[in-house]
């Protein structure tokens, strides 16, 4: 499991005074600021202050940033937090980062592939699995019916593929 988890990403600048647009991956997008100081992959710290929302993104100022030019340089920066600063998950709840790389098996024990990514486009969580035989990705709804079991000790996910999904 990763030591850092990504809580959001800077989409780009907003205005001329150094504010940025942020896509938050937290359950309540605006709660990203409640986690305190975040950092990037290089260890640079970011103290966000929520300024508002616009077009599905949060608008935030970052302490010490005062120009659009500074904000433009941060486009694409992932905002990370140390895993040990996050609360433990309840049964049936997972951090996306914990699912990446899990081996995927069907109920009969046949290996199907590996979890490549997790997505949520607004209609629920989706797991992206790269199928071993074809090396092609397939998107599977991530719910109790299609993913009945996850075993982190064995590093595996059991899936029940809906009929016709792989056709």
pLDDT at 2: 61
CATH architecture assignment, domain 4-85 = Beta Barrel (2.40)
Report the 3 state secondary structure along the chain.
Answer: CCCEEEEEEEEEEECCCCEEEEEECCCCHHHHHHHCCEECCCCCEECEEEEEEECCEEEEEECCCCCHHHHHCCCCCEEEEEHHHCCCCCCCCCCHHHHCCCEEEECCCCEEEEEEEEEECCCCEEEEEEECCCCCEEEEECCCCCCCEEECCCCEEEECCCCCCCC
**Band (88; pLDDT cuts 50, 70, 90):** confident
Segment 12-18 shows an average pLDDT of 95
User: Has residue 1 got a pLDDT over 60?
Assistant: no
Q: Where are the domains of the chain?
A: 4-85, 96-159
pLDDT at 156: 95
27/148: higher pLDDT = 148
User: Has residue 61 got a pLDDT over 80?
Assistant: yes
Task: From the options 2.30.30.240, 1.50.10.20, 1.25.40.10, 2.60.40.1120, give the CATH code of 96-159.
Answer: 2.30.30.240
pTM flag (> 0.75): no
Segment 30-34 shows an average pLDDT of 93
Query: What is the average pLDDT value for the chain, to the nearest integer?
Result: 90
Instruction: Convert the pLDDT of each residue in 106-142 to its tens digit.
Output: 989 999 999 999 988 777 889 999 999 889 999 999 9
């Amino acid at each position: 499991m990763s030591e850092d988890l990504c809580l959001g990403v800077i989409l780009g600048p907003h205005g001329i005074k150094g504010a940025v647009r942020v896509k938050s991956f937290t359950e309540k997008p605006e709660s990203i600021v409640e986690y305190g100081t975040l950092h990037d992959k290089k260890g640079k710290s970011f103290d966000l202050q929520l300024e508002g929302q616009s077009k599905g993104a949060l608008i935030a100022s970052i302490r010490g940033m005062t120009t659009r030019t500074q904000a433009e340089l941060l486009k694409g920066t992932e905002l990370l937090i140390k895993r040990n600063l996050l609360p433990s998950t309840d049964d049936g709840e997972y951090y996306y980062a914990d699912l990446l790389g899990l081996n995927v098996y069907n109920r009969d024990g046949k290996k199907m592939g590996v979890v490549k990514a997790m997505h949520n486009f607004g209609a629920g969580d989706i797991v992206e699995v790269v199928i071993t035989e074809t090396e092609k990705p397939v998107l599977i709804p991530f719910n109790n019916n299609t993913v009945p079991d996850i075993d982190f000790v064995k590093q595996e996910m059991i899936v029940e593929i809906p009929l016709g999904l792989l056709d």
